[in-house]
Structure 1
Amino acid sequence: MKKYIQITAAAVTVIGMLSAGFSAVAAPAPAQPMKMFINGVHQPDVLNVNGRTMVQLRAFKDPANMSYSYDAATKTIMITNPPKQMTVKLKNGLKTAEVNGKSIALDAPVTVQDGRTYVPARFVTETLGGTVFYNGSTKQVIVRTPTGEEQFNTLRSGDLTKARNLALKLPKLNNGINIEPYGEGFTTVYTFPKGEALRYFMEYKGLLAYIEINASGLAEIKWQKDTLGHNGQAGIEPEPFGDSVYFSDNFMADMLNYGTIDSTGKLTEMGAISRYRNEEYANVISVSIEGEVRTDAK
C-alpha cells in the first residue's frame, strides 16, 4: 500500500506541473495518407472497387441497432435493424441489395475477400443509419454508426462527465509521435482543463502525452515527453491548462482518485473511489466535479 501511495503521489505531482508550464519542443508530425475510421477506430481493411470505398460489414458494429447473420443454404448475408423495422439481404457479387423485399442498387458489387464481406460505405450509412464523409484536408474517411453518431454529439456538446469518458475510450492516433515509457507503475493520471472534455494530458510510467479530440471525433496525440529524461520528447507542447481537474486511475488497486489543480500546480483531492466496493464505477474514469460547468461545447 505504501508503494502505491508513493507511485500515485509521484504521478499526480508530475501532472500538477502541467498547470505551471514546460519548455518548448520539436517539429509537428508529418501529414498522414488517406485512412478510414468507424466510430473513431482506424480500419486497415478497406477496399476500393470501381472507385468506391468499400467497408468491412462487420466493422460497422452497432449492437443497439443491428445484428448480422449468414444463411449458408442461400449464401445470403442478413442484416436486421429492429429500430428501423428493416431487414437487408446481400449476396456476394451482386450490385443490388434487398431491403424489406425491395431491390436497391449499389454503387459497387458486394465483395467477399479473405472471408470478409465488403459493401459500399455510403450504402450502410444511408440504409442502416449513421453518417459518412470525406475530409479532404486530412485525407480521412469518417464513418459513424447510429450509436456512434449519438456518442459523437455527446462528445462534442453533451454532458461534461459523459463526454470525458467517451474521449478517454477513443483509440489514440500517434501520427508519428511514439515515445516509449521508461518508468514503472500502475497508475494513469488524466488531466483536463476545467470545464473541458476535448483535450487532456495523460501520464503513465513517467510518459506525458497531450491528446486532442479533433472535429471529426478522432483522438490525436499532439505531444509526448519522457519526464524521466531518457527518451526525449516529440510533437508540439501545448500551453499550460491553468485551472484543471485530474483523475488518477490505479488499475492494480482498482482505485480512482480525483480532484482539482490550480494555476500554480497545487492539487486538492476531492474524493477516492474503490471499485471493489463500488462496482458501478467499473470502467469509469471521469466522475462529476462539484460546481464544474462545461465550457468547450461545439
Structure 2
Amino acid sequence: MKKWIQATAASLSIMGMLAAGAAVSAAPQKPTQVYIDGELQKDVLTVKQRTMVQLKAFNDPANLTYSYEQATKTIVIVNKTNKTTVRLKSGATTAEVNGKSVKLDAPVTIKDGRTYLPLRFISETLGGVLKYSTTDKSVIVRTPSGEERFNILMHGDLAKAREIAIHYPKTYAGKEIQASGEGYTFAYTFPKGEALRFEYQYKGLINYTEINQDGIAVVKWQNDSYGSNGEVGTRHEAFGESVYFTKHLMLDKNVYGTIDSQGKSTELGFTEYSSNKDLADVMIMPIDGEVRTDQQK
C-alpha cells in the first residue's frame, strides 16, 4: 500500500505539468457528478453536451504513463498493459491512438492550466470501466488498477478488502465536522465478517462509513464525542460482534482484536513497525476463523 501511495503521488506531480497551449472555453453548463476510483471529481466540465474530466484524475501509475513533448506541444499517454499510445494536442477534435486518428466527442480543453478530455474517451481508450449509477444518476469510472481494487473490495479476501476500504476516498452525506480533541491513537472497527461498513475514531471524533455497490464510500454519521462540534447524520445500529484495529502512534504499534456482543474486547495480537516501516501503512490483519459475509454480486 505504501508503494502504491508513493507511485500515485509521483504520477500526479508529472501530470500537473502536462497542460499547455491555448485555452478552449467551455459552456457554463451544470456538470455531471463523476466518481473516478471512488473519488468525487470537483472539477468537471460540460463541452458540447459531453462530460469532460481532468486528465490527471485518471491516475494509474501501475498501468499508465504521461509525458509532454514541448517541441510539438503534444500530450503522450502510454498504457503499458494493453500497449496503447495516445497523442493529443490542445483544442484538437481528434486523437492519435496507435498511429490512427480517432474522433473525439469534444475537443481537448485547457482550463486554468489543466487538461480536460471527454470522459468516455478516457475510460474506453485507456482501459478503464465506465458505468452509470442507478442510485444517484452519477457516472462511475474506474482505472484498470482501480477496477482490481474494486473487485477485491467487493468480492475478495476479507483482510485485503478492509485495507482497501479504510484508504478509499470518502464523501459525506451531510456537512463534515472536525475533531475538537487531541490524541495519539486511531482505530477502525468492523462488524464481524464485513468490510463494507466500519467506524473510524480519532481525537474523539467517530465517523461511520458505508461503501455502496458502486464502490462509493459515504460517511453517514459523525459524532464529536468530546461534544464541541456535535453530531451529524443518523446513528447506526450497534455492530454486535466486531473486530478492531488500533494504531498507537507514540508506540509505533498496531493492535488488533475482537469485541463480543456485550462490548468486551479481547486483544489477539499486535505488530511493531518501528523496525519495519513498510508495516506502518498496514492496519488490517487477518483474524483466525473469521469468514467474510458481505460479498457483493
TM-score, normalised to structure 2, is 0.86
Q: CA deviation at 1:143?
A: 1.3
Q: Secondary structure at the match of 1:83?
A: coil
Match of 2:87 in 1: 89
Confirm whether residue 128 of structure 1 aligns to residue 123 of structure 2.
Answer: no
Any idea what SS the aligned residue of 2:81 has? helix
| Residue deviations 1:70-94 (CA, integer Å, cap 9, x gap) | 1111111101112111111111111
Match of residue 180, structure 1, among 174, 178, 181: 178
Closer/same/farther in 2, CA of residues 136 and 50 from structure 1, 3 Å limit: farther
Q: Displacement of 1:104 after TM fit?
A: 0.9
The Cα shift of 1:230 comes to 3.4
Task: Report the CA distance between 1:124 and its aligned residue.
Answer: 1.1
In the alignment, residue 63 of structure 1 is paired with which amino acid? P
Deviation, 1:34, is: 4.8
CA positional deviation for 1:233: 1.6
Match of 2:47 in 1: 49
Q: Which runs of structure 2 are paired with 1:1-298 in the superposition (5 Å)?
A: 34-135=32-133, 137-298=135-296
Q: Secondary structure at the match of 1:196?
A: coil
- Equivalent-residue separation in structure 2 for 1:93 and 1:215 (angstroms): 37
Query: Is contact 2:174-2:220 (8 Å) kept?
Result: no
SS at match of 1:189: strand
Deviation, 1:183, is: 2.1
Aligned partners of 1:238, 1:123: CA distance in 2, in Å? 40
In structure 1, the residue corresponding to 2:164 is in which secondary structure? helix
Cα distance per residue 1:180-232 (max 9 Å; x no partner) = 32222111111001110000011111121111011221111111122233333
User: Normalising by structure 1, what TM-score?
Assistant: 0.85
Contact persistence 2:173–2:233 (CA under 8 A): no
3-state SS, counterpart of residue 263 of structure 1:
coil
Distance in 1 between the 2:273 and 2:167 partners?
A: 18
Aligned-residue offset at 1:144: 0.7
Counterparts of 1:238 and 1:200, CA distance in 2: 10
Instruction: Provide the alpha-carbon RMSD of the alignment.
Output: 1.5
Task: Kindly provide the amino acid, as one letter, of the partner of residue 223 in structure 1.
Answer: W
1:15 aligns with: none
Alpha-carbon offset, residue 278 of structure 1: 3.4
Bigger relative contact order, structure 1 or 2 (CA pairs below 8 A, ≥6 apart): 1
In the TM superposition, residue 40 of structure 1 has moved relative to its aligned partner by 1.4
Question: Which blocks of at least 5 consecutive residues in structure 2 are unaligned?
Answer: 1-30
Cα deviation, 1:105-163, whole Å, max 9, x if unaligned, reads: 11111111222111111001111111122325424222110000110111011111111
The separation in 2 between residues aligned to 1:132 and 1:108, in whole angstroms, is 18
CA drift at 1:251: 2.5
2: distance between equivalents of 1:107 and 1:147? Answer: 25
**Separation of aligned partners in 1, 2:225 and 2:42:** 33
- The percentage of aligned residue pairs carrying the same residue is 56
**Equivalent residues of 2:76, 2:88 under 8 A apart:** yes
Q: Which residue identity is paired with 1:240?
A: A
Specify the code of the residue in structure 1 equivalent to 2:144: P
| Residue equivalent to 2:14 | none
SS, match of residue 148 in structure 2: helix
2: distance between equivalents of 1:188 and 1:59?
Answer: 29
Task: For 2:272 and 2:171, locate their aligned partners in 1 and report how far apart those are by CA, in whole Å.
Answer: 31
Match of 1:282, SS state, is helix
| Residue of structure 2 equivalent to 1:3 | none
Residue 36 and residue 65 in structure 1: after superposition, are their counterparts in 2 closer, same or farther (change >3 A)? same
Q: Secondary structure at the match of 1:248?
A: strand
